Amino acid sequence: MTLPRLICLAGRNQTRAPLAVRCRLPLFFFLVCAAFTQDARQIVQESQKRGQVKSQKYDGLLQVQESERTVSEKRWQYQRIGSYGASKSILRFTIPPEVKGVALLIVNHSDRASDQWMWTPAIGRERRIALQDRSTRFFGTDFSFEDLEERDLDQFDFKLLGEDDVAGAKCWRIEYKPRQSRASQYSSSMTWIRQDNYVSVQVDAYVKNQVARRLKYFNLEQIEGIWTARSVEVTDLRRKSRTLLKLEKVEYNVPLKEENFTVPALRQSQ
């Protein structure tokens, strides 16, 4: 059981379409009633369960913006195998030309923080990203290395703080804090999960009681039965800059090989 950061914030629509159409009101009423009986952890767990896939692939367009103008545009290809705590992912830059081939391998673990290695073709070397370095911005974007990993649910304490409307949708507001053993740059985080489809639409990450990063998920779309945010906006509130990630060519459950998600494979794939 893990808490996804940003890459796979999606939820499977478990409602059969005809039933949903026929019984929209009763179903919605049922969900709202259920909310009061659920605790925060169960909500997050359900959200993750709905987003479970064997693998995922997409092309990402990153637009870094400062003072309301785009200062940098990058593209990456993302591949992920496995679900949550047991997943592995590789993202590889394809544009601009000067960073083409730069790649990041993330190996998530259910019982501890992920391992990460970055491959830089210009020096022909991979470099392990140490845990204490994960608060660093990832390659000039507003994502930190930590934002790219997946978290284990058991390493957090959850608290249901109430309900809010976010972009016209009713959401549960849930706070989660890392337990003592978990090393994180964030002291706590707040997530808003939609009550109708269990998709997280916003995450505020706190450092010493101040919001340091805000992630917003837009353009929700069902792809192969999975609710998928096609746009993710991360704002670094301390630097006052933001990065918009647009997900294109999203595919789920594509055949990917486990052996392509290793450090030797990272070196050889260039």
Partner 1 sequence: MIRPAVVALLAAPLCFSQNLEQRGFLDSSTYFYPRAASNDDGKVVSQLLLRYEVSYKPSAHWRFSGGVDFRTDSHRQVDRAFKFNWWDRSMAQPAAAVRRMSVAYTSGRLNLELGKQFIRWGKADILNPTDRFAPREYMNVVDTDFLAVTAARLTYGTQSNSIDLVFTPRLTPSRMPLLDQRWVVLPGNFPVDDLGARFPGGGQYGARWDHVGQRAEFSLSFFDGYNHLPLIDAALRPLPFPAAEVQRFYPRIRTYGGDLTIPLRWVSVKSEAAYFTSSNPKADEYLLYVVQLERQAGEWFFVGGYSGEVVTTRRTIQDFAPDRGLSKAFLGRAGYTINANRNIAFESAVRQNGHGSWARLEYSQAFGQHWRGTVGLNWIRGEPGDFLGQYYRNSFLSLKLRYSF
Nearer to partner 1, 132 or 209 (CB): 132
With beta carbons less than 8 A apart as the criterion, state whether 171 and 165 touch: yes
Q: Distance between CA atoms of 61 and 84, rounded to whole angstroms?
A: 23
Q: Is 182 in the site for partner 1 (CB under 8 A)?
A: no
Contact segment (CB under 8 A) with partner 1 among 77-85, 125-133, 153-161, 193-201 equals 125-133
Q: Which of 176, 175, 222 is nearest to 199 (CA)?
A: 222
Contact segment (CB under 8 A) with partner 1 among 119-127, 189-197, 216-224, 226-234 equals 119-127
> How many residues in the chain?
270
Nearer to partner 1, 196 or 233 (CB): 233
Choose which of 27, 31, 46, 140 interacts with partner 1 (CB under 8 A). Answer: 140
To partner 1, the closest distance from the beta carbon of 190 in angstroms equals 23
Nearer to partner 1, 252 or 261 (CB): 261
DSSP 71-84: EEEEEEEEEEES-G
Q: What is the largest CA-CA distance in the chain?
A: 60
To partner 1, the closest distance from the beta carbon of 218 in angstroms equals 21
Contact segment (CB under 8 A) with partner 1 among 11-19, 118-126, 199-207, 221-229 equals 118-126
Q: Distance between CA atoms of 63 and 42, rounded to whole angstroms?
A: 34
Strands 210-223 and 226-236: antiparallel
Q: Distance between CA atoms of 131 and 242, rounded to whole angstroms?
A: 24
Nearer to partner 1, 151 or 173 (CB): 151
Choose which of 128, 164, 224, 254 interacts with partner 1 (CB under 8 A). Answer: 128
DSSP 120-170: ETTTTEEEE--GGGTTSBSTTSS-BGGGGS-EEGGGEEEEEEEEEEETTEE
Alpha carbon distances (Å) from 98 to 23, 73, 91: 54, 12, 16
Q: Is 131 in the site for partner 1 (CB under 8 A)?
A: yes
Give how many residues touch partner 1 by CB under 8 A.
37
Q: Is 180 in the site for partner 1 (CB under 8 A)?
A: no
Pick out residues in 205-264 that bind partner 1 (CB under 8 A).
241, 259, 261-264
Q: Distance between CA atoms of 259 and 249, rounded to whole angstroms?
A: 23
Pick out residues in 62-101 that bind partner 1 (CB under 8 A).
64, 66, 71-73, 95-98, 100-101
To partner 1, the closest distance from the beta carbon of 71 in angstroms equals 5
Site residues, partner 1 (CB under 8 A): 64, 66, 71-73, 95-98, 100-101, 107, 112, 115, 123-125, 128, 130-133, 135-137, 140-141, 241, 259, 261-265, 267-268, 270
